[in-house]
Amino acid sequence: MKRGTFLASLAIACCAAPGFAHAFLQRAEPGAGATLRAAPRRVALSFSEKLEPIFSGVTVTDSSGRSVETGAVVIGGHSMVAQLRPLPPGSYRVVWHAVSVDTHRTEGAYSFTVKP
């Protein structure tokens, strides 16, 4: 096989492959480092890949480490959403882990603040 053919076949194979990949965080509400005047009612995370609900999750805790979520985290498609109880002013920590449908795992964490 000539080099050009080799390269072309490889490129086609790669581009045409029904790929999956690591699920990277693409959007977060509230975002990392945000300072909010009004307490958010939920944390919503959007990912680059479809998630495996059983192996993915998110927790939101206050500065003393207590969970502030209400109910179960809803995970579907590319997103996960955690409903929050009314939050008093303070600093909060979001910790997530995501397993894409091809079993690749990613994780992350960030903080946001609710102003008095």
Partner 1 sequence: MSLFCKRATTPRVLFPTVSLIFAAVLVPAPAVAHGIIGQRFFPATISTDDPFAADELALPTITSFDHETDIDVDYSKSIVRGFAIGIGIGHVDSTALGNPPARGFGNLAIAPTLEVYRNPEHEFIVSTGVDWEVGGTGSRAVAERTSTFTPTIKFGKGFGDLPESMKYLRPLAVTGTVGYVIPTASDEPKSIEWGGAIEYSLLYLQNNVRDQGFSNVVAHLTPVVEFSLSSPTRAGEGGTTGTINPGLIWSGQYVQLAAEAVLPVNRQSGHGIGFIAQLHFYIDDIFPHSLGRPIFGGKK
Nearest to 23 by CA among 110, 108, 99, 109: 99
Candidates 42, 104, 114, 116; binder of partner 1 (CB under 8 A) is 104
Candidates 32, 63, 85, 115; binder of partner 1 (CB under 8 A) is 32
| Segment interacting with partner 1, rule: CB under 8 A, options 51-59, 65-73, 80-88, 105-113 | 105-113
Residue 25 sits in the site that holds partner 1 (CB under 8 A):
yes
The residues with which 36 forms a beta bridge, in sequence order, are: 114
Say how many C-beta atoms besides its own lie within 10 A of residue 61's C-beta. Answer: 16
Residue 82 sits in the site that holds partner 1 (CB under 8 A):
no
Beta carbon nearer to partner 1, 75 or 94: 94
Residue 37 sits in the site that holds partner 1 (CB under 8 A):
no
| Segment interacting with partner 1, rule: CB under 8 A, options 3-11, 54-62, 70-78, 82-90 | 3-11
**Longest CA–CA separation in the chain, Å:** 69
For the chain, how far is it from start to end, CA to CA, in angstroms? 69
Residue 9 sits in the site that holds partner 1 (CB under 8 A):
yes
Q: Residues, the chain, total?
A: 116
Residue 33 sits in the site that holds partner 1 (CB under 8 A):
yes
Please report, for the chain, how many H helices and E strands are present, in that order: 1, 8
